[in-house]
Structure 1
Amino acid sequence: MVISSAYELHPEACAYLESLRAVNASVNTERTYAGRVALYLSHCAERGIDWTRPTLGQLSGFLHGLVQEPLPSRSRVGPAEPRYRDEKTANAILSATGRFLDFCSTRGWVPLEVVNLLWEPKFLQHLPPGYDVGEEGQFQVVQARKVKFQVAVDGYEWLLPGQIETVIGLTRNARDRFLVTLLAVTGARIGEVLGLRREDMHFLADSRSLGCPEDGPHVHIRRRGNNLNGALAKARRPRSIPVEADTVGLYSEYQYERDRVPEAAESDMVFVNLFRQPLGQPVKYHGAKDLFDRLTKKAGFAARPHMLRHSAATRWIRGGTDPDVVQDLMGHVSSQSMQPYLHSTSKERRDAVERGAAHRRTNA
């Protein structure tokens, strides 16, 4: 929810969040958009701006203020170096603000001309592979943001096999070891893994006794909207992902650990609290984030759930797996979503240059 400084609900912002909930947006998405909308509303309230009728200059001022104003200090022991948002984050906040204002315009709360301040038509000259422009080219014109920072496109981060083994080795219990391993071998999203039920774990050599025709041990990813921890699978289409015997063995170790906590017996969720209250309750997003924050600190390099997902896709692609199969394993609807995984490594780039140099010397 979004509230004012007087602890009163902001009706339009709450209605927007309710619209996200209505289309089964994840809890993380809803939380992120709530915070970004609240930043915009707070900016307007502090400066006496009518949030329903901002000018282009005021929206630009909001964008630039996001990177100029220091963030609250996290230090508990005294003064610390000021922290600032980067331009990419500021763009994302203004983008969320634009979607909020667009939603409000459909309800008559914000004039349409305000929304038009943020967007302008843009003709796509360089189309990504596989992009469908429509029968008459109607999809070659898209709406682009007018107000934004020009930022470079970030590279995609993944972990090398040795780094993944390091992270797994730093886990302190069987549950966390199985969680990290499952993310690494399946390429599933953290919300999909936290939303797993015991019935989704088909770890038998033959699952026909369970009414499942899939061969070998595998995990079923299903979208459910009633998980107590708020976990939600992003992909609406269910899918299954094969796993290896080592992963099944880690699950058995985790079950042995879990069986020693009586409160966990009542939950059908796979990942539950075993070491802190409330015992037996499903692990939530912030619990998983705390785990990866600790592992990152111990490992000395960044280790996040989505990096494990990217690592799995990279491993499959480099292993010669057909891109259509990888797309299915990842739960992507569009083949365009596969483009981030079709990258080259620094070694591959260097090898290419060295081969070119060797060819040039040979033919000199």
Structure 2
Amino acid sequence: MNESFELHVEGCAYLAGLRGAGRSYNTERTYSGRIALYLSYCAEKGIDWSCPSFSQLLAMMRWLVDEPLPSRRRRPGGEPRYRSEGTANAIMGTIGEFLAWCSLQGWVPPTIVSQLVQPKFLRFTPPGFDAGEEGQHLTVQARTIKYRVAVPGYEWLSDEEIGHLLDLTAHARDRFLIALLAVTGMRIGEALGLRREDMHFLPDSSSLGCKVAGPHVHVRRRRNTNGAYAKSPFPRWIPVAADTVALYADYQYERDAVEAAADCDMVFVNLFRAPLGEAMKYPSTYELFTRLARRAGFHARPHMLRHSAITRWIREGTDRDVVQNMAGHQSPHSMDRYTHATDQELRDAVEKMAALKKADRP
């Protein structure tokens, strides 16, 4: 959209293409912000968005990390916040996809797209990678405009840390939310998108038209008024234990005391601040976790609970197909990143080696 509030035709067409290809709502929303940032940058710098030079794209990549984030995202009196190099890489990757797609439509010269990638031979491949009968898949197209950043680790919370968070919660709703994420491993968008009809917490749900035995929760992709969205397009159900059902009952008692929440079909709703009774949204949820993390003295984000659940399932020897199904992963290789060595396991390995060396001495 320009100063005359006219929509950018090519940008809108690209987003429509994402929607037509079945990309998730969250992906479309994220990409729209990145494309808008690119188009705004080009307009401000006097760059033809459809024909940027290599040096101009490099300059934008540097600008992304050097330019402070808008002040509206800064806490009053706080230090300016900046994008990380990893975030800049994600934004530039989206811009590259946008330009490549526009090139297929004849809106961007092919030479612009060709300068964004170069051939790269993979000396090391991830597990399950198909190199081809003659290794023809080992040469891939790698991005040329990209920061070299360390691969980020995947953080999770121990059972003790999760228990500490539960002890710090002041409301039954928040206690149930944390417990549900930790037990089911669902994404925060999936949790915020739950509706009452998804909570099958009876021993027998046949009266609800469900043949799944025992307490469980259904995860389905829907469009929700609070913007919550399930990443996986495939519906699934996840079993829960009796203690989770008990926490849900406590939450329902707390919720029933707020008259405005009676007519909302969403599971997680605002009970303590306006607008009362409306579905919880991402910002309020992250604010909740920020407060709890500050009080607990360690980092705690919703996705860390998902990571904790999947890590626990794998460590307990749960079949990987079962873990994949409960986690909502389309590829079995998505679980590879959840296999961690704990501090105690690392210590045990060192002590075991030291004991073996000591036993071998005469």
Aligned match of 2:9 = 11
User: In 1, distance between residues paired with 2:262 and 2:9?
Assistant: 41
Q: Does 1:234 align with 2:243?
A: no
TM-score by length of 1: 0.91
- Distance of 1:323 and 1:124 partners within structure 2: 27
Q: Show the counterpart of 1:221.
A: 219
Residue 242 of structure 1 aligns with an amino acid whose one-letter code is P
TM-aligned CA distance change 1:221 to 1:342, over 3 Å: same
**1:307 aligned onto 2:314:** no
Q: What residue is the counterpart of 1:297 in the other structure?
A: 294
Output the aligned Cα RMSD.
2.1
Partner of 1:69: 67
- 1:35-75 Cα distance to aligned partner (Å, 9 max, x none): 32222222222221111101111111111222223334424
Change (3 A) 1:284 1:18: farther
2:173 paired residue among 157, 172, 175: 175
Where in structure 2 are the equivalents of 1:87-236 lying within 5 Å?
87-133=85-131, 139-224=137-222, 226-236=223-233
Separation of aligned partners in 2, 1:21 and 1:181 = 33
Stretches of structure 1 that go unaligned for 5 or more consecutive residues are none
Shift of 1:215: 2.1
Three-state SS of the structure 2 residue aligned to 1:327 is helix
* Per-residue deviation, 1:27: 4.5
For the residues of structure 2 that align with 1:303 and 1:22, how far apart are their CA atoms?
Answer: 36
Q: Residue 26 of structure 2 contacts residue 229 of structure 2 at CA under 8 Å; is this kept in 1? A: no
Q: Is the 8 A contact 1:27 1:231 kept in 2?
A: no
Distance 1:171 1:34 in 2: 35
Structure 2 residues not aligned, in runs of 5+:
none
Post-superposition offset of 1:81:
3.8
Q: CA deviation at 1:17?
A: 2.9
**What is the percent sequence identity of the aligned residues?**
61
- Cα distance change, pair 211–346 in 1 and its aligned pair in 2 (3 A): same
Distance 1:106 1:227, change over 3 A: same
8 A Cα contact 1:26 1:230, kept in partner: no
SS at match of 1:236: coil
* Contact 1:273–1:279 (8 Å) recurs in 2: yes
Q: State which of 44, 47, 54 in structure 1 corresponds to 2:52.
A: 54
- 1:306 offset after TM fit, Å? 0.7
Count of matched residue pairs: 359
Question: In the alignment, which residue of structure 2 is the partner of 1:264?
Answer: 261
Q: Deviations over 1:9-51 (max 9, x none)?
A: 3332233333334455444433332332222222222221111
3-state DSSP class of the match of 1:266? coil
Write the deviation string for residues 243-275 of structure 1: whole angstroms up to 9, x where unpaired. 111100011111112222233222222112222
**Aligned residue in 2 for 1:334:** 331
Q: Is the 8 A contact 2:26 2:231 kept in 1?
A: no
* Displacement of 1:347: 2.1
Greater mean deviation of Cα atoms: 30-39 or 326-335: 30-39
- Counterpart of 2:76 in structure 1: which amino acid? R
